[in-house]
């Protein structure tokens, strides 16, 4: 299928690895000029802007680079999120994160996206037919006594997306949200990552957590964690003109984790 994306200009945040890298590479393969915002350079043919999105000035720098290099912005994918730099998740219990933890979580997962949208929208309005995809999480919709601050920040991302779709849809900017479940990225696999934390809690080992324990705990219908490419494929379709009537929607890609209607 031709997604009709060739020649368009996209900004992808958190593009150096995992979901962000898969999104960036998929868009490149579709002929998109990709500006990748991340602290380290991705292994992809993109224009990289080395920024820390915890810096309030970073989004404007990224957008300025896209305009300078390619003349505008058609697509914005707010993928950056998860544990703020220096933070390890999961964290258990409401009392565990303090005020500084809450501020860092919202800074990285919500405010960075808000600032990026604020910087990009004026240029997207000039182009017409633009698209924003925000990456949230199933934890926004299935709260529990784990990662409370993360779930709250991602719930806010959902709400912002709905509001933006109402305001800017009539002006030619579609806004949608993708909510992944547990995705097989280095959040899980790295040393000291989620799999090792859960292994310590459950008395298991890292490989067993990824292959068996985590899918069972989350009741994943597929029996496995989601692959980053599965998220990237959905994002590519959402930003395509072929999804021209899709706005204000949430696409959940979670291996069947969420069961409610």
> Is 150 assigned a catalytic role?
yes
What is d(CA 185, CA 205) in angstroms, rounded to the nearest whole number? 17
The catalytic residue among 108, 150, 168, 187 is 150
Closest CA to 22 of 36, 1, 8: 36
Closest CA to 12 of 120, 91, 168: 120
What is d(CA 173, CA 134) in angstroms, rounded to the nearest whole number? 13
What is d(CA 175, CA 45) in angstroms, rounded to the nearest whole number? 26
Point out which residues pair with 146 in neighbouring strands.
92
Exposure on the CB side of residue 102, measured as CA atoms within 13 A: 9
Q: List active site positions.
A: 150
């Amino acid at each position: 299928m031709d997604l009709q994306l060739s020649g368009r200009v996209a900004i992808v945040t958190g593009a150096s690895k995992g979901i962000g890298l898969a999104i960036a590479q998929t868009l490149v393969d579709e002929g998109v000029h990709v500006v990748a915002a991340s602290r380290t350079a991705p292994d992809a043919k993109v224009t990289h802007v080395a920024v820390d999105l915890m810096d309030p000035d970073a989004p404007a720098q990224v957008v300025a680079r896209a305009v300078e290099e390619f003349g505008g912005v058609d697509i914005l994918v707010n993928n950056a999120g998860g544990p703020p730099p220096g933070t390890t998740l999961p964290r258990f219990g409401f009392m565990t994160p303090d005020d500084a933890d809450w501020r860092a979580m919202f800074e990285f997962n919500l405010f960075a996206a808000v600032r990026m949208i604020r910087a990009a929208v004026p240029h997207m309005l000039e182009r017409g037919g633009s698209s924003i995809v925000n990456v949230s999480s199933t934890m926004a919709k299935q709260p529990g006594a784990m990662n409370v601050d993360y779930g709250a920040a991602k719930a806010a991302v959902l709400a912002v997306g709905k509001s933006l779709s109402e305001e800017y849809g009539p002006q030619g900017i579609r806004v949608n949200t993708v909510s992944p479940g547990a995705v097989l990225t280095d959040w899980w696999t790295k040393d000291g990552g989620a799999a090792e934390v859960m292994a310590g809690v459950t008395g298991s080992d890292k490989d067993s957590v990824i292959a068996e324990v985590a899918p069972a705990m989350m009741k994943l219908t597929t029996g496995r964690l989601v692959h980053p490419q599965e998220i990237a494929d959905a994002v590519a379709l959402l930003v395509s003109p072929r999804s021209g009537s899709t706005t204000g929607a949430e696409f959940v890609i979670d291996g069947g984790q969420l069961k409610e209607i």
